[in-house]
Structure 1
Amino acid sequence: MRTVPTTPHGEAARNVERIRELFPGCVVETTAPDGTVTAAVDLDLLRRELGERAVDGPRERYHLDWPGKSAAAAAANAPTARTLSPSRADSVDFDGTRNLFIEGDNLDALKLLQEGCLGRVGLIYIDPPYNTGSDRFVYADRFAETSERFRERTGDLFTNSATDGRFHSTWLSMIYQRLRLSRTLLRPDGVMLISINDVEQANLRRLCDEVFGAANFVCQFVWLNDGNVDQQSAIKGVHEYVLAYARDLARLPRPVVIDPNIGDGSKLYNERIENSITKNGPANPPSTVELPAGFPAAFDAGGIDARTDRFPHILDPVVVRDGRLVAPVRVHSGWSSRNLLELFIRNGCTPITDARGRETWFDLTASGAVYSYKRRAGDQGHVLSVLRNLGTTKQNSRMLAGWGIEFSYPKPVHLIEYLVRVFTRPGGDDLVLDYFAGSATTAHAVFRANEADGGNRRFILVQYPEPAGTGTIADVARTRIRKCGPEVLASRTRHPGWRGDIGFRSLRVAPVPLADVTVRPGTVRQADLAALATTVRPDSDVEDLLFHVLVRHGVDLSTAVHREADDTFVVPDADLVACFAAEVTEDMVTALAARRPGRVVFREAGFRSDTVRLNTDRVFARLSPGTDVSVV
């Protein structure tokens, strides 16, 4: 029987395992500072594997650097000593929803999501502090001290003044850690979207090139915030940016959304696409194609004389009867789709399928041009790099005010809804993450996107409880979700495919619910033994313990949990049973083993006697040898 670890593996440990997969000989055993034996990377062996491709020391190279970058990377890689604790009172439909709202430091939250959400997030959208010179950064990232010491010293609010020598460096360190952790959460076809202004967009672009790879850059959208025109500056700034990077651009599916500014009369909405394939130029040198007898014509009957005065040259007289060529005709021109045309001819002049799966056919028009026709796919997409007429911050502030919510500069819900629909699958169940949640615009946008196309996307929002009015910004976000959900659900245009999940399971970043019972030999008195008998903190309940176990076992925190008698919890999707009964008997152990779960967890102090604890391994070895048995 093993003990569930208090802290999860950090990103550094996962990176060691990734290197082991590529270069197993470079991972060796060594002694950690605490005396334990651990796996580590032998850099000398790794340099030998990489040969001349390894760069270190003063050798010149192109990269973005700043004071504190190494410390920021180390902080991102380090494990967190925090966990996630449930708050039913702050939730909506706690047991039925698949949405999550996490209150607390987003760096801790991103680390705690690494196991359960690794490689599973379809879209991450963030609207981080823009570093205007007066932004208050709410994060505990001072690298030479603990989070607790930082909070004591600054009260959590750190102003990154433009007069500070670390003006750019501080902001870059803050965002760098979070982007590193974001990338590992994305699915192979996932996308990262970041709102930013002019001050840091150049640095952010280079930083994202490093984290995601320059080859995975998708687009730098320009968002026209047309309502923002009352600044007293020489040039009115009415735009911001949204940077888009893919986890793997080769796997990014083509968007199937049409820019809402495209009018109903656009040919994009036509049932078929038609174009002349006559195309002359250096890239399309003229060549001759023979159209066989029976080739389709766009007219029922008639003829075209041979000609060479304009393209396409018609080298043989054209005779059409019943909409088909009577005899073969040679035509000479440059062609934009010659390969498809010849495939159509070889297919007996019947429709073929192009590389995108669209039905394609050709005919000869009365002017002598050859036209191609494609049946437009139902998932037609047309996304522009300029985002306009998608709402303004002022409009959305007024909308929030109608719900009694005061919040400055909220992102327009129409803008975020459009981006969600562009970069997630229509009708799908993509997971959308926003760890600078603010007023919860992203949750509202997910609801609206699901209502529009019948998807069942779900969200994870993270927000630090920064003071705001009489409460916190986290309170503001939860209030908005409670207000906007029923409104979207009541829409007359609601798509029947949406299951209507407008709830959220509220969690908070919290201390681990386990007491520190580690002691050094010779320091324990007889009177101390009773206090060391339990490993659970007195201010924690069984649900706190359960969610700590879910986090450490990498279980999806939105998964269904069934509570049974004797504080036993069953998590079907994770094949896990957690038994936190105050007195676990051997009969209870036998009954649990008979279920043959994949994993079972007990509370260390919950066994009725030492005998029951010792016999638990034997019972499972006999009745369910495949079960992983552990204690907290």
Structure 2
Amino acid sequence: MTTSQSDGSIEFTPVGEATTLGEIDGNIALLASLFPDAVADGKVDLDVLRDLLGDDAEPAGSEPSGLRWVGMSEARRLSTLPATGTLLPRPDESVDWDSTKNIIIEGDNLEVLRLLRRGYTSKVDVIYIDPPYNTGHDFVYDDRRMSTVQEHEAVAGHRDEMGTTQTGDGSDRAQDRRLASARHAKWLSMMYPRLLVAHALLKETGVFIAAIDDNEHARLKLLLDRVFGAENFISNVVWQGGRKNDSRYISNGADYMLIYAKNEGHLSALETRWRERKSGIDESLETAAEIWEQSGGDTAHANAAWKSWLKKAKDSGVITDSVARYDQLQADTGRPMNTYGNITWPGGGGPDYDVLHPETQLPVKKPNRGWLFQEPEMRRRIADGLIWFGKDEGTIPRGISYLDEMDQQVATSVFEQDRKAASTAMRKLFDEGIPFDTPKDHRVLSRWLSLVSAGNPDALVLDFFAGSGSTAHAVMSLNASDGGRRRHILVQLDEPVESDQFDTIADITRERHRRAGKALTSESTSHSETLDIGFRSYRLADSNLRPWDGTSEIDLLGAVDNLVDGRSTDDLLVEVMLRLGIELTTPVEEREVAGATLYCLGRGTLYAYFGEDVTTARSIEVARALVEWREENPVDSDVTIVVRDTGFTNSSAKLNLEAAIKQAGFTTFRSI
């Protein structure tokens, strides 16, 4: 992948030529591959595209139903722009940089998401966000394109050069309504491009969760229907977090979690089912075993004690009815069981046959609708102890289920958890006081992250409104409980806070991660030694290369002096990884060669060298080192080599390197 120049020199393909789906060039390339007749010279002919799509294409100027707001088109366009910045690695504020798979990024999340798009498209299992609620205050996420109320009115047709077109308290353009309309549009325009990029990052089996309150719930639901498709909506979960007795009408103490699948049809085809372990089941089984042992096999005494404990546990919230209904202990074994299973045919017309009572050997009373099972299956269940009989044949038998075999349950869409518990958890971590006003409860997040990922122990979780870092705490807690290897990526803006300890919310995010990790490892669980409590810290910054404006082909080092002062070759390496779509936690090895660092990524799939003053002799030394390292790390896939274009003293040095590595079998070359 080199280009010969008229002066005999060569030019490696710039790293910036890479593109991906979601960016404008990537979208056009995909359309060209699907509908080549509709794309000519990189331009899309919309009339041809409509012809090819037939009746399913909306005609120009149509007004389909759905959420609309002033600024929507511009917000959508922002999602398609390629990233123009980079991430600067900060090992100094990280934990276990060399070994961790977790990431915390400080900076505006829209630009960060665009940077992550190439390396993480279709790789994220769960996205959880708790975006800023629309309280009417100024947004810190302004994207440099938020409109004033006057601008909003002008675009919406409510204002002309003479002023507002309708005035007066009785008008539907009254001041409060005009202000609210602009405020909602502003919030939606902030959310829309971020959701579009986030959608691309999810796997086909991925799940998205957004926390929201009443102010924007309705609009966010419609917005998510647009981004994910209404057919992929899973649930509107209600989190009742407390009661407000001073409320005039109703205590609106609920928040919501809107849950969407990336592709519900795909999940269904895989027969995916979300189940969770019943609350309090382990304690219940242990208690039942103790009661049975203390009873000495006296079933009546044991059942009385067991029912008493169940009532107290349910009243205190330790268990729910899903456990409490197992209110009998089986004779001889003491296993908690439920004997109220209906074994009659729904609707009537079920099998009709005699079932003998095990004691009287007389046919038991038959249900009017017939039996639920065919006779062979009924005999098997009786033999396996799964059918309950009354004291004589006058009672219709019922099905038996055992608690230790029914330990999983489907989650309900409403749950209660006092939000004060989250502040209590933060207080335990920060002895100096709680540095964040509204932390989310990491235990609640652990529950839902595990549920929607179907217990996947290797799930990658993304939160791009990280706040205090509850999501990271939740992921680490899950891993500590079951030995999982889940990873997380957190993104948080460097929003200032009024605190003697911290300058920004991102500082709080990192510090909570450090303290939560230490707290979890100190608990000495069976998984504490293998728990990944580290994170790699990065900060969003302008590109390492001055002239890059993101609007044209990126000749990343077209001049010797275009490297930003103070940037290192490690910084350049991260930018290369982002541009080429390489995950940030990809293993990196280093060797000193010809006065600079030679990097090896992915155990031999990519090599990078950013040395300066590379003479012909040094280029031969670099080529030799590349060949030797490649022989030590042979790979079946293509191997890419990235060099610093202006690092060579002359074209001869560059030609010598190109010839040597080409002769050695390397085929893909890039420049930065």
Q: Same fold (TM over 0.5)?
A: yes
Identity of aligned residues (%): 30
User: 1:116-135 residue pairs with structure 2 within 5 A?
Assistant: 116-135=119-138
Q: CA separation of 1:592/1:47 partners in 2, compared to 1, >3 Å: closer, same or farther?
A: same
The structure-2 alpha-carbon separation of the partners of 1:251 and 1:306, relative to structure 1 and needing over 3 Å to count, comes to same
Residue 544 (structure 1) aligns with? 571
1:630 alignment partner, SS class: strand
**Cα separation, 2, equivalents of 1:377 and 1:414:** 25
Could you say which residue in structure 2 is the equivalent of 1:557? 584
* 1:101 maps to amino acid: I
Match of 2:602 in 1: 572
How many residue pairs align between the two structures? 554
Q: Is the 8 A contact 1:450 1:498 kept in 2?
A: no
Structure 1 unaligned regions, length at least 5: 31-37, 146-159, 314-332, 352-359, 519-529
Contact 1:396-1:410 at 8 Å conserved across structures: no
**1:164-203 paired onto structure 2 within 5 Å:** 165-203=181-219
The offset of 1:517, in angstroms, is 8.7
1:11 aligns with 2:23: yes
Deviation at 1:91, TM superposition (A): 1.0
Displacement of 1:50 in angstroms is 2.1
Question: In the aligned structure 1, how far is the partner of 2:427 from the partner of 2:85?
Answer: 37
Q: Which amino acid aligns with 2:487?
A: R
Counterpart-to-counterpart distance in 2, 1:178 and 1:531: 32
* Distance apart, 1:204 and its partner CA: 0.7
Residues 462, 488 of structure 2: 8 Å contact kept: yes
Given that 1:397 and 1:408 are in contact with CA atoms closer than 8 Å, whether structure 2 keeps it comes out as no
Residue of 393, 408, 416 corresponding to 1:380: 408
Aligned-partner Cα distance in 1 for 2:83–2:143 = 12
For residues 49 and 289 of structure 1, do their structure 2 counterparts lie closer, same or farther at Cα, with a shift above 3 Å needed? farther
Find the counterpart in structure 1 of residue 252 from structure 2. 237
Cα gap change, 1:605/1:490 in structure 2, threshold over 3 Å: closer, same or farther?
same
User: 1:461, CA displacement in angstroms?
Assistant: 0.5
- Is the contact made by 1:2 and 1:631 (CA closer than 8 Å) also made in structure 2? yes
- Determine which structure has the larger strand proportion and give its number: 1
* Contact in 2 for aligned 1:277/1:372 (Cα 8 Å): no
The within-5 A match list for 1:442-591 is 442-469=471-498, 471-492=503-524, 494-496=525-527, 499-516=530-547, 532-533=559-560, 535-565=562-592, 566-572=596-602, 575-582=605-612, 583=614, 584-591=618-625
SS at match of 1:303: coil
Deviates more, 1:414-423 or 1:172-181: 414-423
Higher helix share: 2
Change (3 A) 1:410 1:289: same
TM-score (structure 1 length as normaliser): 0.79
Taking structure 2 as the reference length, what is the TM-score of the superposition? 0.74
- The equivalent of 1:320 in structure 2 is none
Contact 1:344 1:362 in 2 (8 A): no
The answer (yes or no) to whether the contact 2:341–2:401 under 8 Å persists in 1 is: no
Deviation at 1:456, TM superposition (A): 1.5
Measure how far apart 1:171 and its partner are: 0.6
Distance 2:452 2:514 in 1: 25
* Structure 2 alignment gaps of length 5 or more: 1-11, 149-175, 280-316, 328-334, 550-556
Match of 1:523 in 2: none
CA distance in 1, matches of 2:245, 2:599: 57
Matched residue, 1:592: 626
Alignment-mate amino acid for residue 446 of structure 1: V
Structure 1 pair 236/364, CA: closer, same or farther in 2 (3 Å)? closer
Matches within 5 A, 1:112-511: 112-142=115-145, 163=179, 165-226=181-242, 229=244, 234-252=249-267, 253-258=272-277, 260=279, 263=319, 265-266=323-324, 276-279=341-344, 284-289=347-352, 300=358, 302-305=360-363, 311-312=366-367, 333-334=369-370, 337-338=372-373, 341=374, 344=377, 365=389, 367-369=395-397, 371=399, 380-389=408-417, 391-392=419-420, 394-396=423-425, 398-399=427-428, 401-426=430-455, 428-469=457-498, 471-492=503-524, 494-496=525-527, 499-511=530-542
Deviation at 1:406, TM superposition (A): 1.5
CA contact 1:255–1:423 (8 Å) conserved in 2:
yes
Is 1:611 the equivalent of 2:652? yes
Aligned twin of 1:104: 107
Instruction: Give the superposition deviation at 1:630.
Output: 1.1
How far apart in 1 are the matches of 2:446 and 2:178?
Answer: 33
The AA in structure 2 aligned to 1:552 is R
Task: Quote the Cα distance in structure 1 between the aligned partners of 2:438 and 2:202.
Answer: 28
Deviations 1:556-577 (A, max 9, x none): 1122212221311111257111
The CA distance in 2 between the partners of 1:387 and 1:101, in whole Å, is 30
- Are residues 473 and 276 of structure 1, via their aligned partners in 2, closer, same or farther at CA, if it must alter by over 3 Å? closer
Name the amino acid aligned to 2:597. D
**Structure 1 position 14, deviation (Å):** 3.1
CA distance change for structure 1 residues 176 and 259 in 2, over 3 Å: closer, same or farther?
farther
Paired with 1:164 and 1:418, the residues of 2 have a C-alpha distance of 36
CA distances 1:552-606 after superposition (whole Å, capped 9, x unpaired): 1111112221222131111125711111233342132133135167111111122
